[in-house]
């Protein structure tokens, strides 16, 4: 059965990483247009509509809301090997 140890370990890490990815990495309430992930469209939105709250998750996505309503999702969600690598890099 030892031939499956690596496969089982990789699956265990993936399951742990998927749970970890739901955690909040950072939270910002701001009206800045200089965040590293801003685009021309998001800058214009902030200038026109005012402050936002950005919740960055361990999965790599950022959910932007204004007045309690989700207005944009920024970034791409990590999956598979990329997610496991980020999880391991974070020291988990």
List the domain boundaries for the chain: 2-89
Reported pTM = 0.87
Distances (CA, A) of 65 to 6, 8, 46, 73: 41, 39, 11, 9
Provide the pLDDT for residue 54. 98
- Which residues have a Cβ under 8 Å from the Cβ of 11 and sit 6 or more positions away? none
Query: In this predicted model, what pLDDT tens digit does every residue of 5-55 receive, in sequence order?
Result: 888 999 999 999 999 999 999 999 999 999 999 999 999 999 999 999 999
């Amino acid at each position: 059965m030892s031939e499956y140890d690596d496969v089982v370990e990789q699956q265990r890490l993936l399951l742990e990483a998927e749970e970890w990815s739901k955690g909040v990495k950072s939270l910002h309430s701001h009206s800045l247009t200089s965040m590293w992930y801003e685009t021309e469209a998001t800058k214009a939105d902030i200038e026109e509509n005012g402050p936002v709250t950005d919740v960055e998750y361990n999965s790599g996505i950022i959910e932007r809301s204004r007045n309690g309503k989700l207005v944009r999702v920024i970034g791409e969600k990590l999956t598979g090997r990329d997610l496991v690598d980020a999880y391991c890099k974070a020291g988990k």
